[in-house]
């Protein structure tokens, strides 16, 4: 069974083709700058020995339909391709950002599902419309393959009301669905499952804190394998300090910006989403650069790192209290997987909670799952590379098998 996973952005399509029977990636890539003067298509073909061969094409790619047709063109290409005909694609799995309260699991896409994703556009005005474009285009390019939606929000639908409600008039929840939803669900769920495999224990028995630190960043408290709280909210702006997003601030800050600095709603939206976080404090959102700047003695970079890791530590403490007992802490995504300094600072001084990092293990680089806690640490601290595409492929396979397709 071959499954194509698609992540559609406003001007991009990220894709991976999986051989789901043999659990391996056959090809993948990224179509970027769709609709701009010069589009970019990077395609990778995985060879039988695991090595990848890259091909880059630069040319105008008018719209997403043309983008996906180009992807198909390379997938079936005699030299760069990996299949003989697009009919070999058994199903297409789509990452959909906001499922609202309508979806707590992966679903096969039909007209009702399309309508529900549309209904959730007000909750994710930037993402859901482009995800819908991706689905429409994939349906026309692969008319015979079932299309499946995997939602960023679905994993967090188990969060109880006390943790998802905001203390604002209840009608705003009832009528307008204003509440915490949480995101990065595919990643939190994936690393939690991998941790259970690694620890050789049933997922349903494990209490964990998963820490996804990429450009966006979020944490989840997972009790008996289910999400019970998460740091992002109704939108991905809440919670941790991120690359360019502010995370938690006093909700009255925007009023101050509007009243005293005469900023418009749009300016404030831009400021909090695009010019805040690490970038707002020290001028760059790339963690590698922040660490370099700190090592070069730049004070603002040191402050940024201090804030970044303090916020993580604070939520570890909060989620420990929420969970009551803790089996493991998991770091994942670009920063979580690659920045030992961030892991060390975030866990420093948590010995009383049973969280103890082994500095030597933490500083070792590696590719797979790594245990970085000291042998005596009550709580295991793990680094687990996330793989949202693989998780989407697995969910897609399970969904179509469950429906006997």
Which residues contribute to the site for ligand ADP (CB under 6 A)?
Answer: 214-216, 243, 286-288, 291, 333-335, 338-339
Nearer to ligand ADP, 189 or 323 (CB): 189
CA distances from 173 to 105, 116, 124, 152, 178 (A): 21, 17, 16, 20, 5
Nearer to ligand ADP, 316 or 333 (CB): 333
Question: Do strands 147-151 and 89-96 pair parallel, antiparallel, or not at all (unpaired)?
Answer: parallel
Q: Which of 152, 250, 275, 358 is catalytic?
A: 152
Sole residue written with tokens 């969060």: 159
Residues 173 and 101: beta-carbon distance below 8 Å = no
| Three-state DSSP class for residue 381 | strand
Q: Distances in Å between the alpha carbon of 84 and those of 78, 88, 100, 394?
A: 8, 8, 38, 23
Nearest 10 degrees: CA dihedral of 262, 265, 267, 272?
Answer: 110
| 382's tokens | 């793990």
Give the tokens for residue 214.
């990429």
Residue 52 β-bridge partners: 46
| β-strands 328-332, 208-213 pairing | parallel
Nearer to ligand ADP, 104 or 338 (CB): 338
To ligand ADP, the closest distance from the beta carbon of 243 in angstroms equals 6
CB of residue 333 to ligand ADP, shortest distance in Å: 4
Active site residue 286: no
Which residue of this chain has its Cβ atom nearest to ligand ADP in the complex?
334
Nearer to ligand ADP, 180 or 293 (CB): 293
Closest separation between CB of residue 335 and ligand ADP, Å?
4
Question: Sheet of 328-332: strands edge to edge?
Answer: 226-230, 217-223, 208-213, 328-332, 380-383, 370-371
Between 215 and 351, name the residue whose CB sits nearer to ligand ADP. Answer: 215
Active site residues: 152
């Amino acid at each position: 069974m071959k499954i194509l996973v698609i992540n559609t952005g406003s001007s991009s399509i990220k894709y991976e083709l999986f051989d789901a029977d043999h659990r391996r990636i056959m090809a993948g890539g990224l179509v970027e700058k769709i609709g701009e003067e010069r589009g970019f298509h990077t395609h990778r073909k995985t060879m039988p020995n695991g090595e990848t061969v890259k091909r880059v094409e630069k040319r105008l790619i008018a719209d997403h339909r043309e983008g996906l047709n180009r992807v198909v063109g390379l997938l079936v290409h005699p030299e760069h391709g990996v299949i003989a005909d697009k009919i070999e694609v058994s199903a297409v799995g789509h990452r959909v950002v906001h499922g609202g309260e309508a979806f707590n699991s992966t679903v096969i896409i039909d007209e009702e599902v399309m309508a529900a994703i549309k209904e959730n556009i007000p909750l994710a005005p930037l993402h859901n419309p482009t995800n819908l474009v991706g689905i429409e285009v994939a349906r026309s390019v692969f008319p015979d393959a079932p299309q499946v939606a995997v939602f960023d929000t679905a994993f967090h639908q188990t969060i109880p009301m006390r943790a998802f409600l905001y203390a604002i008039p209840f009608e705003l929840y009832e009528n307008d669905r204003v509440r915490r939803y949480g995101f990065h669900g595919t990643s939190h769920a994936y690393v939690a499952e991998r941790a259970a495999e690694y620890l050789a224990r049933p997922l349903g028995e494990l209490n964990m804190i998963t820490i996804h630190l990429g450009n966006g960043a979020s944490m989840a408290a997972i009790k008996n394998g289910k999400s019970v709280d998460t740091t992002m909210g109704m939108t991905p702006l809440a919670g941790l300090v991120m690359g360019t997003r502010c995370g938690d601030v006093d909700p009255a800050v925007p009023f101050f910006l509007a009243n005293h600095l005469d900023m418009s709603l749009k300016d404030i939206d831009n400021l909090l989403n695009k010019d805040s976080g690490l970038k707002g404090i020290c001028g760059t959102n790339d963690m590698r650069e922040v660490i370099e700047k700190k090592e070069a003695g730049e004070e603002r970079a040191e402050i940024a790192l201090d804030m970044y890791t303090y916020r993580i530590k604070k939520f570890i403490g909060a989620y420990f209290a929420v969970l009551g007992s803790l089996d493991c802490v998991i770091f994942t995504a670009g920063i979580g997987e690659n920045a030992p300094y961030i892991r060390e600072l975030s866990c420093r001084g948590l010995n009383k909670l049973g969280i103890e990092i082994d500095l030597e293990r933490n500083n070792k680089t590696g590719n797979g799952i790594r245990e970085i806690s000291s042998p005596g640490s009550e709580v295991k601290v793990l680094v687990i590379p996330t793989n949202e595409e693989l998780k989407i492929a697995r969910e897609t396979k399970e969904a179509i098998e469950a429906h006997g397709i």
